[in-house]
């Protein structure tokens, strides 16, 4: 019993810190597969749920949906919500769509994109600008944010352009319903960009 409790602690602590991947954590992943029912009970008292995808090889914690019962006092949130800018959300959707196309090809399990390929994914949706360097720098900031969120992994290269692996956990956050609304979200974003561009021109004319 004490040994199991100790093992559960070694599982829950990494989960509270972030995502556990099968790749590179085979022993921890094996413990999680063996003890995930106990782990679910263990973290449920904290108002958290365990999301475990054995096929894709990742696990993470999320906050349990709040009860609609007015008599139930909501627990403080342990997992913080992170508001995302529209360009970051759009790039996540584009990467998710790219991952779906990649999976349909069935050639490999790891989608790796160069920095230039990711820049081009978003660049085509941005308004034309005479300051190309500024646009690329902005997209670079968006890429860094997605790396920070854990949906892209920067790969080490001895030479050549930077490259990134699209982490498969992205499928858990950008689901099929979100992708179904992609065209409308894209139209909203393009309208937003046009509005910003128009205001910029008006300011310049003034």
Per-residue model confidence as pLDDT tens digits over 115-164? 999 999 888 777 666 677 888 888 899 999 999 888 999 998 766 678 99
Q: Are the C-beta atoms of residues 44 and 64 closer than 8 Å to each other?
A: yes
Q: Would the CATH topology of 2-63 be identical to that of 86-205?
A: yes
Per-residue model confidence as pLDDT tens digits over 27-72? 999 999 999 999 999 888 888 899 999 988 999 988 876 655 565 5
Architecture of 2-63 per CATH? Orthogonal Bundle (1.10)
**Number of helices and strands (H, E) in the chain?**
8, 6
CA 35/CA 4 separation, integer angstroms: 9
pLDDT of res. 202: 47
pLDDT of res. 191: 72
CA angle centred on 78, ends 57 and 35, rounded to 5°: 40
pLDDT exceeds cutoff 60 at 74: no
Greatest Cα pair distance, the chain, in angstroms, is 75
Q: What is the pTM of this model?
A: 0.71
Domain at 86-205, CATH from 3.90.420.10, 1.10.10.580, 1.10.760.10, 3.90.700.10: 1.10.10.580
CA 101/CA 121 separation, integer angstroms: 14
Domain extents in the chain:
2-63, 86-205
pLDDT of res. 201: 46
Q: What's CA 117's distance to the chain center, in Å? A: 18
């Amino acid at each position: 019993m004490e040994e199991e409790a100790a093992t559960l602690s070694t599982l829950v602590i990494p989960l509270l810190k972030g995502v556990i991947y099968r790749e590179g954590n085979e022993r921890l992943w094996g413990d999680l597969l063996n003890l995930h029912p106990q782990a679910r009970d263990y973290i449920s008292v904290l108002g958290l749920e365990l999301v475990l995808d054995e096929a894709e090889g990742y696990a993470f914690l999320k906050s349990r949906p709040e009860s609609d019962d007015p008599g139930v006092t909501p627990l403080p949130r342990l997992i913080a919500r992170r508001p995302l800018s529209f360009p970051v959300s759009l790039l996540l959707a584009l990467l998710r769509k790219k991952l779906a196309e990649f999976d349909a090809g069935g050639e490999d399990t790891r989608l790796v994109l160069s920095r230039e390929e990711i820049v081009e994914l978003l660049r085509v949706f941005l308004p034309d600008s005479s300051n190309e360097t500024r646009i690329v720098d902005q997209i670079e900031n968006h890429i860094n944010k997605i790396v920070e969120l854990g949906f892209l992994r920067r790969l080490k290269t001895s030479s050549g352009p930077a490259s990134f692996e699209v982490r498969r956990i992205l499928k858990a956050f950008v689901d099929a319903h979100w992708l179904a609304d992609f065209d409308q979200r894209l139209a909203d974003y393009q309208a937003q960009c046009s509005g910003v561009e128009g205001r910029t021109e008006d300011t310049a004319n003034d």
